[in-house]
Chain A
Amino acid sequence: MIFSIMVSEGPYTHQASDSAYQFTKAALDAGHEIFRIFFYHDGVNNGTRMTTPPQDDRNIVDRWSELAKAHDLDMVVCVAAAQRRGIVDVDEAKRHGKDGDNIAEGFRISGLGQLIEAGVKSDRLMQFGD
């Protein structure tokens, strides 16, 4: 089955990102395909490489990056939601005159159309939120 995943909450405050990660991993292990993972609302905060949790806790951002690398996953951060919350890649930083970028490895910034397309092209769109 082809799944897409939507993450609607940021890391740590809510369990949504953890649950989405566990679901994605389980789906991949079971042989399913992940078309896309889309981060919206505070979910975009899963995509900053500046995240530095205590060493005895899970690193939610790194975990996503590693999973994406291992399975060649398409992880998209919504541009409008990202702009509000200060998640920027090199191009966005340049466009808005910011002094640096913070997007984590494996994430890319794109528009909401990517979420709708994920809904159209996947058998199931699973949303993880609050």
Chain B
Amino acid sequence: MSTVKKFMYVNRHAPYGSIYALEGLEVVLIGAAFDQDCCMAFIDDGVFQLVKGQDSSASGMKNFSPTYRALGDYEVTRLYVEKESLMERGLTKSDLMELTYEDEDDDWAEKPSIQIVERSELGRLMEEQDVLLNF
């Protein structure tokens, strides 16, 4: 497919309690095979998806958080986390998993995938996209 469009996957829900996060991540992984320009945004309770040390065993639900570590290998290298959503939930960057990717344009240097952005900046980024998918 020759057309390259900008896709943003917007994650709004906590990882457990509903299936949106898990099924949303499945779309991102499939979408990565289409060589589009894709990124992810984490807003509202969606920021909980990236919290480190998740243990879902008591709920009987599968802990799928290790999958986020694979995103870099799928060339999903931009994960925008909304600053205000973190603050509103008493979270800081240090509560999140350390997700990285290897930058092929910079001698495969390991770089952080997560970028904390302000609400207004995220709005601007959304404006640039061709396709927004909400989960």
Q: How far is the CA of A6 from the CA of B133 in the complex (A)?
A: 9
Q: Known: A127-B133, A127-B134. Is A116-B31 also a contact (CB below 8 A)?
A: yes
Q: How far is the CA of A119 from the CA of B1 in the complex (A)?
A: 12
B23 at the interface (CB under 8 A from A): yes
- The residues of B that contact A108 with a CB separation of less than 8 Å are none
- The residues of A that contact B26 with a CB separation of less than 8 Å are 80, 112
Interface residues on A, range: 10 to 19
Do residues B19 and A113 form an inter-chain contact, with CB atoms below 8 A? no
A41 at the interface (CB under 8 A from B): yes
- Kindly identify which residue among B20, B133, B134 contacts A119, using a CB–CB cutoff of 8 Å: B133
A-B pair number, CB within 8 angstroms: 48
Do residues A113 and B33 form an inter-chain contact, with CB atoms below 8 A? yes
B48 at the interface (CB under 8 A from A): no
Q: How far is the CA of A81 from the CA of B36 in the complex (A)?
A: 23
A120 at the interface (CB under 8 A from B): yes
Do residues B20 and A41 form an inter-chain contact, with CB atoms below 8 A? yes
Residue of B nearest to A42 (CB): B19
The SS class assigned to the B binding surface is: mixed
Which parts of B1-58 form the interface with A (CB within 8 Å)?
1, 3, 5, 7, 19-20, 23, 26-27, 30-31, 33-34, 36
Q: How far is the CA of A115 from the CA of B36 in the complex (A)?
A: 13
Q: How far is the CA of A71 from the CA of B26 in the complex (A)?
A: 30
Interface size on B, residues (CB 8 A): 19
The SS class assigned to the A binding surface is: helix
Report the minimum CB–CB distance from A2 to chain B (whole Å).
12
Report the minimum CB–CB distance from B23 to chain A (whole Å).
6
Residue of A nearest to B4 (CB): A120
9 A-B residue pairings within 8 Å (CB atoms)? A84-B19, A112-B31, A113-B30, A115-B27, A116-B31, A116-B36, A117-B1, A120-B5, A127-B133
Which parts of A89-130 form the interface with B (CB within 8 Å)?
111-113, 115-117, 119-121, 125, 127, 129
Do residues A119 and B5 form an inter-chain contact, with CB atoms below 8 A? yes
A3 at the interface (CB under 8 A from B): no
Q: Known: A40-B23, A119-B133. Is A112-B30 also a contact (CB below 8 A)?
A: yes
Do residues B133 and A41 form an inter-chain contact, with CB atoms below 8 A? no
